[in-house]
């Protein structure tokens, strides 16, 4: 009798938080460290969503659902290789859509202060998210719940390397993020 090779756990992780929290920077660094593909949710937005946000109009759920389903499909397509993707994932319902595609999904929530985010957004050039939408993002943010796997990284003044190390201290390969989420 031939035995099947044991399945190897691979990380499927969403780096979440408000715009300007550092998701893309940390997501790229984590993906590089874990040697898995990286995806930026901003690249999955249809032109109509980008135009709406560029005009200072927040997206509604009808705008978000096709985008979230596309992100979930991308993650599901990387079940065998693992992947890190960025996504604001501000509300539990949005994270549920992503988990619907990948039930074992873990989250890394970047949680800097509003002042840090405003400073970062003010310094960005060429991004579609205006500073005027930051307050609405903080109002919409629903923190990870006790039944969600993840880690919350507080503060906005740590280096990218320090943030990566904080994630890996919780779970060395990010395949076993805790439930309830840990604050690091």
pTM of the model: 0.87
Other beta carbons less than 10 A from residue 146's beta carbon: 7
pLDDT of residue 91 exceeding 90, the answer is yes
Average pLDDT of the residues in 67-91: 96
**Whole-number pLDDT of residue 164:** 95
Mean pLDDT of the chain: 88
pLDDT of residue 155 exceeding 80, the answer is no
Spatial distance between the Cα atoms of 73 and 67, rounded to a whole number of angstroms: 10
pLDDT of residue 126 exceeding 70, the answer is no
Average pLDDT of the residues in 66-80: 96
Of 126 and 184, the structure prediction assigns the larger pLDDT to 184
pLDDT of residue 100 exceeding 70, the answer is yes
Task: Quickly state the pLDDT bin for 179 (edges 50, 70, 90).
Answer: very high
Residue 103 burial (CB < 10 Å; 0-12/13-18/19+)? Answer: exposed
Of 99 and 121, the structure prediction assigns the larger pLDDT to 99
Share of residues in the chain with pLDDT > 70 (%):
89
Spatial distance between the Cα atoms of 148 and 180, rounded to a whole number of angstroms: 6
135-146 pLDDT, tens digit per residue, is 778 888 999 999
CATH number of 30-183: 3.40.50.300
Domain regions of the chain by residue span: 30-183
Of 57 and 89, the structure prediction assigns the larger pLDDT to 89
């Amino acid at each position: 009798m031939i035995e099947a090779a044991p399945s190897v756990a691979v990380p499927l992780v969403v780096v979440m938080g408000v715009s300007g929290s550092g998701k893309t920077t940390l997501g790229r660094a984590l993906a590089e460290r874990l040697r898995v593909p990286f995806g930026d949710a901003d690249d999955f937005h249809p032109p109509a969503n980008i135009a709406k946000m560029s005009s200072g109009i927040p997206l509604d759920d009808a705008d978000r659902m096709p985008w979230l389903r596309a992100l979930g499909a991308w993650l599901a397509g990387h079940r065998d290789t693992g992947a890190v993707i960025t996504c604001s994932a501000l509300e539990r319902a949005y994270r549920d859509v992503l988990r619907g595609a990948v039930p074992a999904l873990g989250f890394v929530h970047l949680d800097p202060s509003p002042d840090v985010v405003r400073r970062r957004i003010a310094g960005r050039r060429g991004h579609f998210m205006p500073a005027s939408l930051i307050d609405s993002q903080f109002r919409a943010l629903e923190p990870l719940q006790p039944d969600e796997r993840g880690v919350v990284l507080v503060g906005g003044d740590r280096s990218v390397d320090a943030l990566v190390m904080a994630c890996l201290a919780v779970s060395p390969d990010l395949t076993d993020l805790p439930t309830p989420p840990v604050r690091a």
